[in-house]
Structure 1
Amino acid sequence: MSNKEIAEKILELVGGNENIQSVTHCATRLRIIINNKDKIDMKGVKAIDKVKGSFFNSGQYQVILGTGLVNKVYDEFVPMLNGSGKKATEASNESQKVTFQKAIRVFGDVFVPIIPVLVATGLFMGLRGLFTQEALLGLVGLTPDDIPQQLLMFTQILTDTAFAFLPALVAWSTFRIFGGTPILGIVLGLMLVSPVLPNAYEVGQQTAEPLMFFGFIKVVGYQGSVLPAFVAGILGSKIEIFLRKKIPDSLDLILTPFLTLLSGLILALFIVGPIFHEVEVGVLYAVEFLLNLPLGIGGLIYGSFGQLLGIFGVHHILNFLEISMLGKDGWNYLNPIGTCGNIAQAGAVLAVAIKAVSPKMKQIAFPSALSAALGITEPAVFGVTLRLVKPFVMSMIGGGVGGFLASIFHLRATGMALTGIPGTLLYLNEQLPLYILVNVVSFAVSFGLTWTFGYKKDQGL
């Protein structure tokens, strides 16, 4: 089936235009807010070619398509709505009750467009680490001192730019999600990292002093910060929407951008920035404290229970944490532990696939195992392990063991959003053997437990 045919079939089976309130997508799933759940033919949707499964979560009907494909199907799906179903980023949610899960979902919507840039940056970091390793250079008779400074500067542009201007990316995406003008978001975000302000990294290293306003407000640049730009983006977009309703059309072009940027910057530098930067630091401190608990306890806990975040629809909060970690010191401490959980899912599902006697079970489980090994676990979780229960428990144990080892070995990634086999690109340094080891252990434990205790060969879905 073509991407257009898939979109047409999904639209038909979810009840057509009149049954769709809004639609958006994440990295792997088409996410549709439905008016009447009873009108959906869920079996029919799951039977569509290239659809890996579907489920309800956070008030949404989510169709699992996988990375890459979901973007293409979404682009075909939206024009078919004929205005009756807006994109979720533009839909009015005033009539819906605000819940924690919906707030997290919006948070995720802001960061999904940014992730590909950060993935690329992480790969650049990994490749730079690989080609500057003394052992690798020694194979061709070189040392790190032999690398031209111009080449190092070129690689630094590739690795540092996204995080140096991260607030601009966050503010742009936030303005877009909340109905503001994205270009105003970009400019507001760039103002937060203006070279006029003391660089946040230099202030953190105590090589520069923050600006002091009114005798007590410390003002710095927000390079690498996420939460201040996110909140400033929300407030800035709301201010712009308010102004456009109040200012006459003849003055809108002049006054609205001027007042939006002026008021947005004042709020960002003097109120939002100082407050939410401290909140961001506190959240990071709490997470890093958990991960650094002695004897690998933090890795054991997160490796075991981190997989539950996706089920409850709050896994998007991890984007904020990982971006903040990378912006802070260039390392991602969550990725190696979370990867163990994904690989553990692959182990559990492969055990089910091999042991099952049902052709239908094998048909679902084998590709789901491969998908999980490549970092996409939704087909494995919602299609196999969670429905069978015991394999999911065994995957939690396998993920916990791997997370424990990752914590003991102090593994850390150079980027984000890549896990499993593709995730090796984030460990192209002396950590690579250990990364492979912890994932092999996670896979083996999960596979062995599922094979032995977690699944009976004649058990169906």
Structure 2
Amino acid sequence: MSELKDSLSQIIQNIGGADNIESASNCVTRLRLVLNDKNQVNVKNLEKLDLVKGTFFASGQFQIIIGPGLVEKVYAEFIKQTGLKESTMTEVKETTRAKGNLLQKGIRTLADIFIPILPAIVASGLLMGFNNLLANPGLFYEKSVLEVHTGIAGISQIINLAANAAFTFLPALIGWSAVKKFGGNPVLGIVLGLILVHPALMSAYDYAADPSKVKYWDVLGYKIEQVGYQGQVLPVLFAAFILAWFEKTLKKRIPDAVQLIFVSPIALILTTFLTFIVIGPLTMTGANWITDGVVYLFDVAPVLAGAVYAFISPLLVITGMHHLFLGVNLQMAGSLGYVTLWPIGDTVTLAQGTAALTMFFILKHNKKMKNIALTSSFTAWLGITEPAIYGVNLRYRYPFIAVMLASAVGSGFLAYFDVKATSIGVGGLFSFLSVFPKYWGVYFTGNALTIILTALITFLFFKSKRFKTEEVIHVEKIAS
């Protein structure tokens, strides 16, 4: 514990002291700091500390990579030594929200909406994968496990119920998170989402199958379709924004004494009418265009589409733009019942871990970097790639380039065979659990190909003398 305290004292000293820190929070692997003057940071001294696995500036924050698990203890001691008030990630992001261009602000907004609901989505994906193990023939027996062991049918049905809940009520999850982000009452966001999937409405899936059976509301002679928005993302995002705007506007104009009576009902009913009349039909059409466009691209040129997506994915991660594809994946899972982008692009996760592990063998005389490379490779294979990206692969450049090249080949291979997953799942070695079992053979082959190529290309770059192991890329220029 005393060693941890000493390391924290040195970290604080090398970022300009406690007076230079405006706010601090932590995520799964990093301390995330908003500094008054980033020029006071001594990066070289910081990265000499055993506790520090790497540092970088991104989105107005100075981030210090510590590693999963340990970062929580480090943050607690950091708060104690600096005397700062504990802040959430959202509060720190709010401190930096004015920084960056319009695209960066939009991406951060999407991230703030989707990331809080990811645990539910990932859990659903894994449960769906587990249920697939029971329901698909040929995995353990010639028939499915359910057909051989009929007594566990009820277990499978309960698992399936739990697995489908997050997608059945996806608009409610997004409504809660989005309205909260936009400054409204998140409970109203839940209600809005539930309205959009109310059982009195015709299901979006039934509507897609046969639109002629839809019923209508007659509102002053205007016909409004009674259609639900199951599995939709864009309609509830726009509706949540409008709901939060109505709520905040009404609170400014209605006296405090009667706000409870008037604000929520008026905001909710106005948003509901606008959603079913304008927002829903328009955004649902746009969402379907996006989904159809992705599917079309992978139908027409699957290898090229998969290769390009994987090639740019590492760059998207360090710029934060990968959050744009969270919504696309959720839209596909909700409307199609499967996702393609996530399983095809997850080769990047394994490639980051493999590149870091290869650097463990290359960096023979740098004990600290060998340790960072080894530990970060394992965390990457378990789905947490930041230590490998910022601590090793970006630092030396050529492992990062190897990741881009090798994952492009692996993902092109997977795209050729049209690999699909039930939903977004946990990344890395256990990602196969969310992939439909009939694709497992191809999936394992594509990932093995990615791992072998990543190690080989990294080693060849090292041997080519084209890159020096002392070279460090300026992450700030890319990430911020």
* Partner residue, 2:106: 103
**What are the Cα deviations for residues 377-413 of structure 1, in whole angstroms up to 9, with x where unaligned?**
2222222222222222221110011001101121111
Moved more, 143-152 or 58-67: 143-152
**What are the Cα deviations for residues 78-114 of structure 1, in whole angstroms up to 9, with x where unaligned?**
8964499994388477855652112101110111110
Alignment of 1:244-323 (within 5 A): 244-294=251-301, 296-323=303-330
Moved more, 279-288 or 296-305: 279-288
**What are the Cα deviations for residues 239-294 of structure 1, in whole angstroms up to 9, with x where unaligned?**
21222222111101111111121122122222221111122112222222333333
| Cα distance in 1, alignment partners of residues 346 and 297 from structure 2 | 17
Give the SS at the match of 1:88.
Answer: helix
* Partner residue, 2:331: 324
Any unmatched runs of 5+ in structure 1?
none
| Cα distance in 1, alignment partners of residues 68 and 21 from structure 2 | 23
Question: Retained in 2: the 8 A contact 1:21–1:84?
Answer: no
One-letter code of the match for 2:162? L
Give the SS at the match of 2:469.
Answer: coil
Match of 1:187 among 178, 186, 191: 191
Question: C-alpha displacement at 1:115, in angstroms?
Answer: 0.3
**What are the Cα deviations for residues 217-254 of structure 1, in whole angstroms up to 9, with x where unaligned?**
54411111111111211221122122222211110111
TM-score between the two structures when normalised by the length of structure 1: 0.87
Question: C-alpha displacement at 1:20, in angstroms?
Answer: 5.1
Match of 1:459 among 447, 469, 473: 469
Question: Retained in 2: the 8 A contact 1:7–1:76?
Answer: no
Distance 1:248 1:299, change over 3 A: same
| Cα distance in 2, alignment partners of residues 450 and 119 from structure 1 | 31
* Partner residue, 1:168: 172
* Partner residue, 2:421: 413
| Cα distance in 1, alignment partners of residues 242 and 76 from structure 2 | 29
| Cα distance in 2, alignment partners of residues 7 and 162 from structure 1 | 42
| Cα distance in 2, alignment partners of residues 42 and 115 from structure 1 | 33
Alignment of 1:52-451 (within 5 A): 52-66=53-67, 81-82=84-85, 87-88=90-91, 91=94, 98-136=101-139, 138=141, 144=147, 147=150, 150-206=154-210, 209-212=213-216, 217-294=224-301, 296-359=303-366, 360-427=368-435, 429-451=437-459
Question: C-alpha displacement at 1:345, in angstroms?
Answer: 1.9
Question: C-alpha displacement at 1:209, in angstroms?
Answer: 3.2
| Cα distance in 1, alignment partners of residues 208 and 271 from structure 2 | 25
**Matched length:** 460
Question: Retained in 1: the 8 A contact 2:358–2:455?
Answer: yes
Any unmatched runs of 5+ in structure 2?
473-480
Distance 1:400 1:96, change over 3 A: closer
One-letter code of the match for 1:277? M
| Cα distance in 2, alignment partners of residues 330 and 354 from structure 1 | 42
Question: Retained in 1: the 8 A contact 2:356–2:388?
Answer: yes
Percent identity of equivalent pairs: 34
- Kindly indicate which of the two structures has a greater share of residues assigned to helix: 2
Question: C-alpha displacement at 1:450, in angstroms?
Answer: 1.1
Distance 1:84 1:104, change over 3 A: closer
One-letter code of the match for 2:311? S
Question: Retained in 2: the 8 A contact 1:104–1:314?
Answer: yes
Distance 1:356 1:74, change over 3 A: closer
One-letter code of the match for 1:257? S
Moved more, 123-132 or 343-352: 343-352
| Cα distance in 2, alignment partners of residues 130 and 184 from structure 1 | 38
Distance 1:208 1:183, change over 3 A: farther
Give the SS at the match of 1:223.
Answer: coil
One-letter code of the match for 1:58? S
TM-score between the two structures when normalised by the length of structure 2: 0.84
RMSD: 3.4
Moved more, 398-407 or 138-147: 138-147
| Cα distance in 2, alignment partners of residues 407 and 95 from structure 1 | 39
Give the SS at the match of 1:194.
Answer: coil
Question: Retained in 2: the 8 A contact 1:198–1:221?
Answer: yes
